[in-house]
Chain A
């Protein structure tokens, strides 16, 4: 009886797993077969790479890749700097008004940048950053979530290390750089993975602030490429979709454990 129960568990779990990745498998199958074979579900038709070639030549993908890559890099660098400084101030310094400001920062967790698209669009235009990578990245740099995460990490650093560094004659910024930042490495890694995968996948805001292939990230490029007006067929769309998710997907499959750990560390507050 017990063995039967185990078997049913495995069966259910694997069935759900197969259902769960089937959209991806179908896309892979469609992308590697000719359109007419794909739409007629001819399962044993020959393989082809033509769809990838058609898709690759159909849009400036290389430019999109570079744009997405620069975007996530710019955001990550900005976030690391801002979040480290603010997280340290909240964790280890005492000053009047700290609690009030901390609540203000926490409020930003709920005022999603996505909801403020109209005013942020006006703001980015006013700053002359419309249709620039920096304009796409700026609203996300002062991440309340990141500040909160770093504050927690820095709070866990033993005060003895801080004192020891100070007695050695280290200044406050020196202590931050030499003691706190190295000890928070796992948190930085976790935050980096979450940040990169979030912004690699972000769509609505880049759609609004970009207006040319020079700045457009992959997601926006993909949505334009797949638009029905362009009359691209399903096999080519599948090929383009797989191409644009490939770097992140491959990275995920290789560093799966770290990814999952990162999401966990970032999620459990």
Chain B
């Protein structure tokens, strides 16, 4: 009997590893190995004709920290995350409460909120270009009706990043709404009835009952929004190209520019490692949180 169990165990082990092999090979080639080699190449100097590649330890990192553009980009990305995450989540919550309520034209409302989610970021940028273009854009046209001066939303450092932020919020809010909507539908009806009998105001009901029940969803969305604040940069290519004078440049765009426009791969590698570091911290936080949640389920 134990010989049979042994055989079965060995059979499962062989099958298990065989089934995993294709996925593991591709993951190694396109995720694990590149991470390692990014770390490795961030420790070497950029090779030129006169200076061959050599080991410089943390040289690329010190150079990066001495680069004023890097700090502008970090600050931009912090502002980008700091605004897009809470604002798109708040709008998403409002959308979900509305789309879940008894309002007229609910089908239309839901569709309208969700539609930006299925558009490519590049297309979204093109649509918004029509709003932002100075002189011709819709915003300027509306402004001129009220006698406001023409504003070059994308061309001046004070407004460029905000223009980018608005497009991101527009794109994200409807996506996050879906998760809130799903969570709202799991809240039992009798809670609302009980609150009504007690004469609780709608505001109190929302704040004291709905929001706490939505907390796991909120954390889940927040993590997604945080990852997106690193990832969503496609519209920069159309709207501002990171300008004017780096005012709207974000980390991933700067990495791309470093590597494929300035051909400074080691600097790009150093920056990539820093971004992966931040994402790793988020990952650790998420797994700890998930562990906690499974405890009381």
List the interface of chain A (C-beta within 8 A of B): 5-6, 9-10, 12-14, 16-18, 20-21, 23-24, 26-27, 30, 39-41, 81-83, 85-86, 88-90, 93-96, 98, 101, 104-123, 138-139, 141-142, 144, 147, 172, 197, 200-204, 207-208, 218-219, 222-223, 226, 234, 237-238, 240-241, 244-245, 248-249, 252-253, 256, 259-260, 263-264, 267-268
Measured between alpha carbons, how far is A30 from B137 in the docked complex, in Å? 11
Nearest-CB residue, chain B, relative to A12? B98
Q: Enumerate chain B residues within 8 angstroms of A117, measured Cβ to Cβ.
A: 255-256, 259
Q: Report if A201-B23 is in contact (Cβ < 8 Å); known contacts: A111-B276, A112-B230.
A: no
Measured between alpha carbons, how far is A122 from B122 in the docked complex, in Å? 25
- The answer to whether B130 and A142 have CB atoms under 8 Å apart is no
Q: Report if A23-B99 is in contact (Cβ < 8 Å); known contacts: A111-B279, A117-B256, A120-B30.
A: no
Contacting residue for A94 out of B9, B32, B38, B121, CB 8 A: B9
Q: Enumerate chain A residues within 8 angstroms of B12, measured Cβ to Cβ.
A: 93-95
B204 contacts the other chain (CB 8 A): no
Q: Enumerate chain B residues within 8 angstroms of A12, measured Cβ to Cβ.
A: 98
**Shortest Cβ distance from residue B124 to the other chain A in the assembled complex, whole angstroms:** 8
Q: A12-B98, A142-B27, A263-B178 are in contact. List 9 more A-B contacts (CB 8 A).
A: A23-B128, A89-B16, A96-B13, A107-B283, A116-B35, A118-B265, A142-B26, A234-B129, A263-B175
* B:231-259 near A, CB below 8 Å: 231, 233-234, 237-238, 252, 255-256, 259
Measured between alpha carbons, how far is A245 from B224 in the docked complex, in Å? 24
B17 contacts the other chain (CB 8 A): yes
Q: Report if A234-B133 is in contact (Cβ < 8 Å); known contacts: A13-B98, A267-B179.
A: yes
The contact sample of 14 A-B pairs, CB cut-off 8 A, is A20-B174, A24-B127, A40-B141, A82-B26, A83-B23, A86-B23, A110-B280, A115-B255, A119-B34, A204-B256, A248-B119, A249-B115, A252-B118, A268-B179
- The answer to whether B23 and A142 have CB atoms under 8 Å apart is yes
The total of Cβ contacts below 8 Å across the A-B interface reads 273
B194 contacts the other chain (CB 8 A): no
Contacting residue for A245 out of B120, B174, B175, CB 8 A: B120
Measured between alpha carbons, how far is A98 from B29 in the docked complex, in Å? 20
B56 contacts the other chain (CB 8 A): no
- The answer to whether B112 and A6 have CB atoms under 8 Å apart is no
- The answer to whether B123 and A244 have CB atoms under 8 Å apart is yes
Q: Enumerate chain B residues within 8 angstroms of A96, measured Cβ to Cβ.
A: 13
B116 contacts the other chain (CB 8 A): yes
Contacting residue for B234 out of A83, A90, A203, CB 8 A: A203
Q: Report if A118-B268 is in contact (Cβ < 8 Å); known contacts: A113-B31, A201-B121.
A: yes
Q: Which of B44-52, B62-70, B77-85, B103-111 contacts the other chain?
A: B103-111
**Shortest Cβ distance from residue A117 to the other chain B in the assembled complex, whole angstroms:** 6
B61 contacts the other chain (CB 8 A): no
Q: Enumerate chain B residues within 8 angstroms of A110, measured Cβ to Cβ.
A: 227, 279-280, 282-283
Q: Enumerate chain B residues within 8 angstroms of A268, measured Cβ to Cβ.
A: 179, 182, 220
Measured between alpha carbons, how far is A259 from B178 in the docked complex, in Å? 11
Contacting residue for A223 out of B115, B237, B276, CB 8 A: B237
- The answer to whether B131 and A26 have CB atoms under 8 Å apart is yes
Q: Enumerate chain B residues within 8 angstroms of A108, measured Cβ to Cβ.
A: 27, 31
Q: Enumerate chain A residues within 8 angstroms of B124, measured Cβ to Cβ.
A: 23
B102 contacts the other chain (CB 8 A): yes
**Shortest Cβ distance from residue A255 to the other chain B in the assembled complex, whole angstroms:** 11
Q: Enumerate chain B residues within 8 angstroms of A5, measured Cβ to Cβ.
A: 202
**Shortest Cβ distance from residue A186 to the other chain B in the assembled complex, whole angstroms:** 15
Q: Enumerate chain A residues within 8 angstroms of B175, measured Cβ to Cβ.
A: 263
**Shortest Cβ distance from residue A205 to the other chain B in the assembled complex, whole angstroms:** 10
Q: Enumerate chain B residues within 8 angstroms of A16, measured Cβ to Cβ.
A: 91, 94-95, 98, 109, 113
Q: Enumerate chain B residues within 8 angstroms of A21, measured Cβ to Cβ.
A: 112, 115
Q: Enumerate chain A residues within 8 angstroms of B222, measured Cβ to Cβ.
A: none
Nearest-CB residue, chain A, relative to B223? A110
- The answer to whether B26 and A141 have CB atoms under 8 Å apart is yes
Q: Enumerate chain B residues within 8 angstroms of A207, measured Cβ to Cβ.
A: 237
- The answer to whether A116 and B130 have CB atoms under 8 Å apart is no
B93 contacts the other chain (CB 8 A): no
* B:1-56 near A, CB below 8 Å: 9, 12-13, 15-17, 19-20, 22-27, 29-35, 37-38, 41
